[in-house]
């Protein structure tokens, strides 16, 4: 069992179902550990290889770690902030409270109250920071360049999938209206009959409340006679290889927190068409390594996709530029180092 006396940073994860926040924690913590950060998780829904505290160990928070420094409670959700406040101000545990905000909207009065109790706040983008009413540091998410990398083998090609065509365009993530899956399907129904060498792949979870939405999309695809060329993959065991198989990735979200999928595609040397939801516009150089369109604008999205289907060389050029851009600006180590700097300031207070 992990000894809580060796833990200086606690990263709670109070959501069992996979989410963007959970994915961030899963990717980031191993990188932080390599940098010497003494961090552990708390809560459900995380893989076994991450260091974890048990709920019964929380009583150990009344004592400082072996280093004698403050422990830091690094929350990313409202309920995690609330628990941190309870531990610090009600139970009087010697904690520093840190919150990372990805929201791109005005916070509720309750969330604003919670944020004001934090000792430090991080925004995942300049846009999310603009909605904060407290001092904050902008630290953009990064991507693991060892896990997400350019094609290397025959498994990284469309031929390995058994799908028809020469080129693959993909849209990955939870299938729901917020993610703009319908905008992607509409674009594919319009474009694919004119571009017979292309096939579209959709991957992601359909939760019960969005089953009718997904079924409607399938019906529209069937009515267009494109069931074999607009393919629902479901939740695949390894999404990384699918990024490498793509010639173009599309992120059509209507709204988003940060949104990692364009970075994962770019790190795989794949060109991206994305809406300006989340931090997409801050990670893509429009017209250089991808294309950004207004969120919810289906017609503009379709025309942006058309330009890549019509010119495969454009996709290749933008994919190469995207890889260079991500390696220079969005490596996961860059995010981990920036977080460590924030931790050090809190430790020294």
pLDDT of 264 > 80? The answer is yes
3-state secondary structure of 268: coil
> How confident is the model at residue 23, as a pLDDT?
82
What does pTM read for this prediction? 0.88
Mean pLDDT of 135-152: 95
Helix (H) or strand (E) holding 100: strand 95-101
What are the CA-CA distances from residue 184 to residues 126, 187, 200, 303 (Å)? Answer: 27, 5, 9, 12
pLDDT of 18 > 70? The answer is no
> How confident is the model at residue 290, as a pLDDT?
96
> How confident is the model at residue 22, as a pLDDT?
84
Task: Give the strand order in the sheet containing 39-42.
Answer: 52-53, 39-42, 9-12, 71-75, 95-101, 120-123, 137-138
Domains belonging to the chain, first-starting first, are: 4-142+331-348 (3.40.50.2000), 154-329 (3.40.50.2000)
> How confident is the model at residue 19, as a pLDDT?
74
What's the chain's average pLDDT?
Answer: 94
pLDDT of 259 > 90? The answer is no
pLDDT of 1 > 80? The answer is no
pLDDT of 337 > 70? The answer is yes
> How confident is the model at residue 156, as a pLDDT?
97
Mean pLDDT of 187-208: 96
pLDDT of 125 > 70? The answer is yes
pLDDT of 167 > 80? The answer is yes
pLDDT of 349 > 90? The answer is no
Counting beta carbons within 10 angstroms of the beta carbon of residue 110, is it exposed (0 to 12), middle (13 to 18) or buried (19 or more)?
A: exposed
What are the CA-CA distances from residue 179 to residues 13, 123, 223 (Å)? Answer: 23, 21, 23
Of the pLDDT bands very low, low, confident and very high (cuts 50, 70, 90), residue 200 is very high
Q: Phi and psi (nearest 5°) for 21? A: -65, -45
Provide the b/e sequence for 247-263 (b: ≥16 CB within 10 Å): bbbbbbbbbbbbbbbbb
Of the pLDDT bands very low, low, confident and very high (cuts 50, 70, 90), residue 222 is very high
Mean pLDDT of 2-23: 87
Task: Give the strand order in the sheet containing 167-172.
Answer: 230-234, 198-203, 167-172, 248-251, 271-275, 290-293
Of the pLDDT bands very low, low, confident and very high (cuts 50, 70, 90), residue 145 is very high
Tokens coding 249: 């990735």
Mean pLDDT of 262-266: 96
3-state secondary structure of 232: strand
Of the pLDDT bands very low, low, confident and very high (cuts 50, 70, 90), residue 186 is very high
Contacts of 113 (CB under 8 A, 6+ apart): none
């Amino acid at each position: 069992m992990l000894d809580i006396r060796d833990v200086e940073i606690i990263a709670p994860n109070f959501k069992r179902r996979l989410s963007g926040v959970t994915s961030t924690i899963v990717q980031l913590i191993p990188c932080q550990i390599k940098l010497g950060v003494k961090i552990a998780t708390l809560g459900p829904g995380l893989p076994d290889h991450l260091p974890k505290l048990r709920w019964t160990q929380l009583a150990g928070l009344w004592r400082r770690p072996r280093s004698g420094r403050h422990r830091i409670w690094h929350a990313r959700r409202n309920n995690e902030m609330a628990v941190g406040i309870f531990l610090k101000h009600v139970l009087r545990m010697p904690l520093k409270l840190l919150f990372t905000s990805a929201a791109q909207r005005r916070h509720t009065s309750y969330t604003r109250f919670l944020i004001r109790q934090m000792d430090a706040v991080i925004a995942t983008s300049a846009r999310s920071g603009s909605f904060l009413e407290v001092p904050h540091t902008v630290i953009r998410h990064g991507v693991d360049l060892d896990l997400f990398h350019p094609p290397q083998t025959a498994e990284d090609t469309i031929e390995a999938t058994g799908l028809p065509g020469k080129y693959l365009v993909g849209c990955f993530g939870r299938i729901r209206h917020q993610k703009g899956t319908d905008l992607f399907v509409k674009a594919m129904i319009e474009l694919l009959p004119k571009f017979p060498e292309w096939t579209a792949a959709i991957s992601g979870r359909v939760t019960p409340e969005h089953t009718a939405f997904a079924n409607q999309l399938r019906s529209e695809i069937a009515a267009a006679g494109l069931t074999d060329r607009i393919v629902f993959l479901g939740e695949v065991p390894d999404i990384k290889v699918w990024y490498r198989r793509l010639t173009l990735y599309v992120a059509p979200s209507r709204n988003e927190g940060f949104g990692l999928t364009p970075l994962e595609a770019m790190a795989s040397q794949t060109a991206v068409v994305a809406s300006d939801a989340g931090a997409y516009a801050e990670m893509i150089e429009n017209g250089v390594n991808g294309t950004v369109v207004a969120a919810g604008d289906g017609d503009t999205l379709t025309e942006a996709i058309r330009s890549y289907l019509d010119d495969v060389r454009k996709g290749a050029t933008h994919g190469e530029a995207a890889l260079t851009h991500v390696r220079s600006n969005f490596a996961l180590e860059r995010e981990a180092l920036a977080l460590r700097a924030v931790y050090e300031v809190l430790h020294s207070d």
